[in-house]
Amino acid sequence: MTIKRRQFLRTCGLTTLATQIPGFTAQGKPPNTIRKPPRLQVGDTVGLIAPAGIVDTKDIEAAHKSITQLGLKVKLGAHILDHYGYLAGKDADRADDLNSMFSDHSIKAIIAMRGGWGCNRILPLLNYSLIRSHPKILMGYSDITTLLLAINARSHLITFHGPVATSTWNQFTVDYFQRILFNGEAVTMQNLNPSEVRVEIIAPGKARGKLVGGNLSVLSAMVGSPYLPSWNKSILFVEEIGEDVYRIDRMLTQLKTAGILNQIAGFIFGQCTNCSLGDEPSFTLIQVLQDHILPLGIPAWYGSMIGHIKDKFTLPIGVEVEINADVGIIQMLEAAVSLV
């Protein structure tokens, strides 16, 4: 055996060994490293899609105005005005719009028009390897939670829980959007006026971890699927709208029995908009949160600017943060976008 042949076989053996060791690829590099999308710049083009509920031309006109006022251009998904029952088109077409926006080199960010229902139906139709190889900003909330979590989990890409295209783009919302997505700042998020949106401490303290979350009912509907990220030592945030308190209790119980709550390092409930006690005798929402969260022994609070409200934070899913439940602060520990 020649020296060159021995060296070749030795190299092959090390490469094979590297592929067999958990945490390494054939190139000897850690797999599944999180990717940050490039930051936005004035003049960039944003793709608008309707992956869930139906939109109309008035919605598009309003969204176009809001986005262009930020110095951005707009490109519409091919099926954005489709109707299929209560969905904005057939599953394959809505998925194709999202896949196409990621493969389109002229698009720098993708914003969902609205939530509703339907994103869960298209998860098996998304091209996660394509999405990972073309990292871009993807943003929305409510039903868009499904896409944000699935793409973070399967494509290992930072995604953004923030305004949809038809949201109220007021100064509060725009400020966080621009600082995080244009400037690449690691911002500290704190309620604008604590006297109007009061922070209610569930358990005091500070914690660090990866920020993960979204709409509670959408998240709970994904439990048991292969489209959720790791919860280990994460900071879980949730929000909700139009649910009776007993339903919040039911969904948190589902997260608890699924083993999710026992893994997290911190908990934030944003806003529960138009949530009621229902017709029967009930716990208050805070009592329900205390029942589920206090035994975990982790920092937690209710009342952050997250949810179906006008003033919204832009929350990067998958970014390391530190929370302070005593004052209701979320501090990013790193930029969420690439500045290169």
Give dist(CA 256, CA 220) in Å, integer. 10
Does residue 195 sit in the same domain as residue 317? yes
Helix (H, G, I), strand (E, B) or coil at 329: strand
Q: Are 18 and 24 in contact (CB under 8 A)?
A: yes
Report the alpha-carbon distance of residue 213 to residue 234 in Å, rounded.
Answer: 9
Residue 181, CB-side half-sphere exposure with 13 Å CA sphere: 32
Site of tokens 């809505």: 94
**Residues 117, 209 within the same domain:** no
Show the beta-strand stretches assigned E in 13-123. Answer: 45-49, 73-76, 107-112
In angstroms, the first-to-last Cα distance of the chain is 48
Say whether both 70 and 150 belong to one domain: yes
Residue that finishes a domain, picked among 103, 137, 169: 169
CA proximity to 204, closest of 285, 267, 287, 262? 267
* Per-residue confidence (pLDDT) for residue 31, from 0 to 100: 52
Question: Which residues have CB under 8 Å from 125's CB, separation 6+?
Answer: 91, 92, 95, 96, 99
Residue 24 domain boundaries: 1-31
pLDDT at position 195: 58
Residues of the chain under the 50 pLDDT cut? 1-30
Whether the CB-CB separation of 261 and 292 falls below 8 Å is answered with yes
Residues 263 and 160 in one domain: no
Looking at the fold, whether 8 and 90 belong to one and the same domain comes out as no
pLDDT of residue 281: 60
Residue 182 is assigned to a structural domain of this protein: no
* pLDDT (0 to 100) of residue 18: 38
> pTM, whole model, 2 decimals?
0.90
Q: Which residues contact 260 (CB under 8 A, 6 or more apart)?
A: 223, 231, 236
Give the model's pLDDT for residue 240: 97
Active-site residue list: 142, 239, 308
Report the pLDDT value the prediction gives residue 312, as an integer from 0 to 100.
95
Please indicate, yes or no, if residue 177 is contained in any of the structural domains.
no
Looking at residue 196, its pLDDT comes to 64
pLDDT in tens, 162-197: 999 999 999 999 999 999 999 999 999 999 876 567
The set of residues, in sequence order, having a beta carbon less than 8 Å from that of 259 and lying 6+ positions away, is: none
Q: Residue 182's CB: how many other CB atoms inside 10 A?
A: 17
Taking the CB of residue 223, how many other CB atoms lie within 10 A of it?
A: 14
Q: What is the model's pLDDT at position 331?
A: 98
pLDDT (tens digit per residue) in 100-112: 999 999 999 999 9
Q: What integer pLDDT is reported at residue 23 of this predicted model?
A: 38
Number of domains in the chain: 3
Q: What is the pLDDT of residue 119?
A: 98
Return the number of other C-beta atoms located less than 10 Å from residue 71's C-beta: 13
CATH number at residue 257: 3.50.30.60
Examine residue 37 and state whether it is found in any structural domain, yes or no.
Answer: no
Same domain, 161 and 105: yes
Q: Is the distance from CB of 335 to CB of 227 less than 8 angstroms?
A: no
- Give strand ranges (E) for 274-314: 300-302
Query: Is residue 235 assigned to a domain?
Result: yes
- Residues 133 and 244 grouped into a single domain: no
